[in-house]
Amino acid sequence: MPMYDALAPVYAALNGEVYYGRMADFIQNAFNTHFSGEVRDVLDLGCGSGNMTFPLLERGYSMIGVDASVSMLSEAQRHPRAGEVLWLEQDMRSFELYGTVEGAVCTLDGINHLLSRRDVLECFRLVHNYLVPNGIFVFDVNSPRKFARTYGDRTYILESEDAFCAWQNDYDPVRGKCYFDIDLFIKEKDGRYSRQSLTIKEQRYTERQLLTLLKEAGFAVLSVTDDYTDDAPCDETERLTFVVKAIK
């Protein structure tokens, strides 16, 4: 999507505190535990610049990366192993694959960027369509607590060596929607900074809403846990992790 293009060159740096390795370990364990055969082909939906694609590639999976932002995909292709991944510029609500996969992932609140339950259902139905019988889908969402307390109406400043980001949140608790107004300053080769502004939106979904949509799309829920751990969600949970399988 065009609104993410400005973030593409600095997305990885601004998300440097995310533990992708631990997340990939959790996903691999979910595949090994819940799929009776070998998981070979894995779809990374909303893959961005490949921050989860490459850790899974390193674990031996044949990866397909789908994202609507051509700039994010361009950043992903800077990676030394980018040629080993099939990259597809497609929307999460209407993507097409060349065949089925045994596993699928959608990490770092990709589902929250779908702004209606109808959009989420369309996404779930497509994932179900391209998974083999009993194929495993792992995804996460930001919890209602995170929307209310961490997002709220707060302002954040994020910095990296070559970028400065001012991030203002505007949360509507009635509609469950959060607007992120972002001013991004990127350091150019001549030392000056260029400024780009954009607005990103996320939609809050409850666990109950997602369970209903998953059932309608044909999935059986295997677990819902706290942020890529085996711990049950609690009042302090900010990221819910779902492991589900396609019933066919």
If asked whether residues 114 and 168 sit together in one domain, one would say no
If asked whether residues 64 and 109 sit together in one domain, one would say yes
Strands (E), the chain: 41-45, 62-67, 86-89, 101-106, 131-142, 155-160, 163-172, 177-187, 193-203, 219-226, 239-246
If asked whether residues 44 and 164 sit together in one domain, one would say no
What average pLDDT does range 135-159 have in this prediction? 90
Q: Is 170 helix (H, G, I), strand (E, B) or coil?
A: strand
**Which domain CATH number covers 195?**
2.20.25.110
Least Cα distance to 107 among 156, 80, 149, 141 occurs for 141
Least Cα distance to 222 among 106, 139, 141 occurs for 139
Q: Kindly report the number of other CB atoms within 10 A of residue 119's CB atom.
A: 17
Classify burial at 88, counting beta carbons within 10 Å of its beta carbon; exposed 0-12, middle 13-18, buried 19 or more: middle
Q: Is the pLDDT of residue 219 over 60?
A: yes
If asked whether residues 13 and 53 sit together in one domain, one would say yes
Give per-residue pLDDT as tens, 63-98.
999 999 888 899 899 999 999 999 999 999 999 999
- Cβ atoms of 145 and 207 within 8 Å: the answer is no
What average pLDDT does range 21-39 have in this prediction? 97
Query: Looking at the 3D structure of the chain, how many domains does it have?
Result: 2
If asked whether residues 98 and 189 sit together in one domain, one would say no
Q: Is the pLDDT of residue 3 over 80?
A: no
- Cβ atoms of 11 and 49 within 8 Å: the answer is yes
pLDDT recorded at residue 188: 81
Q: Kindly report the number of other CB atoms within 10 A of residue 94's CB atom.
A: 11
If asked whether residues 57 and 167 sit together in one domain, one would say no
Mean pLDDT of the chain: 91
Q: Is 108 helix (H, G, I), strand (E, B) or coil?
A: coil
pLDDT recorded at residue 124: 98
If asked whether residues 30 and 132 sit together in one domain, one would say yes
If asked whether residues 80 and 167 sit together in one domain, one would say no
Q: How far apart are CA 132 and CA 99, in angstroms?
A: 10
pLDDT recorded at residue 9: 53
Least Cα distance to 225 among 111, 143, 160, 109 occurs for 143
If asked whether residues 33 and 149 sit together in one domain, one would say no
Beta strands 62-67; 86-89: pairing state: parallel
Instruction: Read off the tokens for 71.
Output: 């700039």
DSSP code of 165? E
Dihedral sign (CA 229, 205, 19, 77)? positive
Q: Is 208 helix (H, G, I), strand (E, B) or coil?
A: helix
Q: How far apart are CA 217 and CA 65, in angstroms?
A: 22
Region for residue 29 given its phi and psi (left: phi exceeds 0; alpha: psi -120 to 50; beta: otherwise): alpha
If asked whether residues 86 and 111 sit together in one domain, one would say yes
Q: Is the pLDDT of residue 198 over 90?
A: no
Which domain range does residue 151 map to?
145-203
**Which domain CATH number covers 212?**
3.40.50.150
Q: Is the pLDDT of residue 7 over 50?
A: yes
If asked whether residues 171 and 67 sit together in one domain, one would say no
Q: pTM to 2 decimals?
A: 0.90
DSSP code of 1? -
If asked whether residues 80 and 112 sit together in one domain, one would say yes
- Cβ atoms of 27 and 105 within 8 Å: the answer is yes
